[in-house]
Structure 1
């Protein structure tokens, strides 16, 4: 078969991802905090985009957007180059109030402090982590230089729970010390605060805390050292038989362990930051009706740069053609950015409006009335693609009268019921949670008992499904929930 070159015409369809489409998708899938960072970065990078803080505007319709006005049921789309007004006028900052000078009010003599006096910013402290806290204590332990290296190695190998993650052999190999020195330094660290630090497991940590209290020979110490497995399952009978103590004494010792001791002494010193949720949309009930309001706080009101527009309209010869082309490109990019931002807000509003329509009973009565809902239902309702709905509902949150929920929360699979309307899986999880919340603590409900009680309400689910939902709710099994009389 001979090889040859040919020309061939072929007709095909394909999706072309234009820069404008990629920008719109990128903004759509951002959460509230990421959006604020993206807007600020775009303002800094694009000279054709600026924040308008010149005029204070009061929005009479909270549901309307910056580029949309509703008049008698008709929606008039404004040109995206219109200026987006600020809701509040930002006052000019007086930087003298934030001068890096010492506050004279703390001086008892009310005299002007010296120029080299410490700044108030020098007193701003940061919460120390576990390692820093231990190093501060070790600095007063009067250790030899080689002992100090061993102590730092041990302290540096504690995990976030305060447990030692390496063996003494590894300590000896890394620091070139003998076993007696490694054991001595480990005891020094275990004598530091918090009690129970540098233990190898939970049992040793609890025992060290009891030893610090002078209770190393108590029944509680015997339980945490030799019968921790029975303590975890609350097997009072087995502990009573193994220790030869009365049941009441065992119960009293276990109550002391669970109330006065902590299994993870290092957690209070964790430096992990808390990620706060900022809702993207609010649903409020006003005069018996639910009103949707987009969260536009802290989002800068954007407009095209008036200076660049004036330069673009200047007479020929004032600026070079290359400069005009650059200005025209930046203004075009700024316009597309503003339009994509407004499109994102409109899409979130439409999706939330559709969710409210499908899940109105949830907003009225709570999670037990949540209905089965899939992405396709909302997509068909607002005539958008499922992938768009998926991007909108990911990492987006709504503030409702019942609390803050992720938009994904309202989508749940259907659990069929004979002769009745199907229930959402989340609704059944909420029913299980309430059952366990209201149970008798001395006779808690087993997974099989919960399955039978649900069956009485025409909700047929297996015991293993109840166990799966209970684990998703982070609820302990029945043997761990049972309390003695």
Structure 2
């Protein structure tokens, strides 16, 4: 067999991931807040970009719509409206009262759990050594309010006796919120029982010996072991449920709170829905025209011209990517509004099953593009603010060959459990049969799965005696 080298010319099509395409994909999957930060970064890196400002805000140019007559004749509108004699508005004299502002208005944020405990420690009648021990113990309390260091370790580190450390810990456990400084759940609940003055001996015994059985709802077993009625055990369990297992969670850092800024707003106007892409918070960027003179003058060298050309191309592509993102969001949101109109009119129970392929076929895009356009984005509707991925849910078949979304089934499941007899709660099989009567085929395992996702306890835990 003869072998040799040769040259062939072949024409093929390949998709090359250029930097511009990568940037367009990145811009598409960013939320409005993330896109604002991305634009700020590009403004710092690319000198060709600038924030567009109105002519009136610049103060250096006149309004092109303003004619010469407006320049010559100026009306003092402030004095005109201040008079109000011909407007039928009575003139109101300004009061010189000074409103007193409380100290709370000057606070930038709520105190953290550590700050709250340190403030109480400074007001407690303890000596300097005890306060130093208390500061160390408070510093080892986690955000939930539990002590993360043992008394033995604290005493060895501080070189003090364990009795003194125990006494200081007892002082901390008397602070607010009740239950703070506990070393485990049992101690936390017992501190709250003592703080609230609960004299029920059965409550204390359940906390000390039967917390695990109580969590599993084994009320009959605990009643037999303790020699009391099931009703008494359930009443004691109801008291324990009023206690807070994480007393420090109300003092979380307020900076951890993140507010949702919807990327798309859907408003009902008359009988139609209007879709608005929420880009009002984004800075309006344009290309700086000053650098364009570099391309028109021959006195600059080729290296400077290439630099300006590359930055101008990058700026133009960024503007194109932002506009393409806006158009894609509008197309996808319009398709969702059209397909989920019953949800917008009547609520979650009328949410229809939907997948990415259906929307991609309607708007003429790829599934990956629709996925990027809906990821990490929220839409504000008359029914509330939802993540755009919320509308893409699976469904189950119902009578007549129709499909019912999982979210609507969960809503119906919640309503069924809420209307049941608490003394004879429904098991998962009975709930499945009730769905079958409504024309929805759902298995017992699926009912149990949806019940766990909704946080609904089992039959044993829901039953009331």
TM-score (norm 1): 0.76
Matching residue within 210, 225, 228 for 2:193 = 210
Deviations 1:156-212 (A, max 9, x none): 332222122344444345444443334233222212222111212322212111212
- The answer as to 2:418 corresponding to 1:437 is yes
Structure-2 residue corresponding to 1:395? 376
Which one is further off, 143-152 or 24-33? 143-152
Structure-2 residue corresponding to 1:369? 350
- Say whether the 8 Å CA contact 2:120–2:175 is kept in structure 1: yes
How many angstroms apart in 2 are the aligned matches of 1:482 and 1:224? 21
For 2:402, what is the secondary structure of its paired residue? Answer: strand
How many angstroms apart in 2 are the aligned matches of 1:391 and 1:132? 43
Shift of 1:293: 1.4
For 1:423, what is the secondary structure of its paired residue? Answer: strand
**Count of matched residue pairs:** 421
How many angstroms apart in 2 are the aligned matches of 1:9 and 1:382? 38
Q: How does 1:161-176 map to 2 (within 5 A)?
A: 161-176=144-159
Matching residue within 321, 333, 357 for 2:314 = 333
Matching residue within 263, 274, 282 for 1:291 = 274
Structure-1 residue corresponding to 2:250? 268
Shift of 1:235: 5.3
Matching residue within 265, 270, 273 for 1:282 = 265
How many angstroms apart in 2 are the aligned matches of 1:21 and 1:173? 61
- Judged with a 3 Å threshold, the aligned counterparts in structure 2 of structure 1 residues 254 and 134 are, in CA distance, closer, same or farther, namely same
Matching residue within 101, 119, 128 for 1:136 = 119
Structure-1 residue corresponding to 2:77? none
Q: How does 1:224-373 map to 2 (within 5 A)?
A: 224-233=207-216, 237-238=220-221, 240-243=223-226, 250=233, 252-259=235-242, 261-271=243-253, 273-309=256-292, 311-312=293-294, 315-317=297-299, 321-373=302-354
- The answer as to 2:27 corresponding to 1:27 is yes
Shift of 1:217: 6.3
- The answer as to 2:170 corresponding to 1:187 is yes
Shift of 1:21: 0.8
Structure-2 residue corresponding to 1:157? 140
What are the ranges of 5 or more consecutive residues in structure 1 without an aligned counterpart? 57-103, 109-119
For 1:284, what is the secondary structure of its paired residue? Answer: strand
How many angstroms apart in 2 are the aligned matches of 1:210 and 1:283? 50
- Say whether the 8 Å CA contact 2:340–2:351 is kept in structure 1: yes
* CA RMSD, 1 decimal: 3.4
For 1:163, what is the secondary structure of its paired residue? Answer: coil
Shift of 1:322: 4.2
Normalized per residue, the structure richer in helix is: 2
Shift of 1:22: 1.1
TM-score (norm 2): 0.79
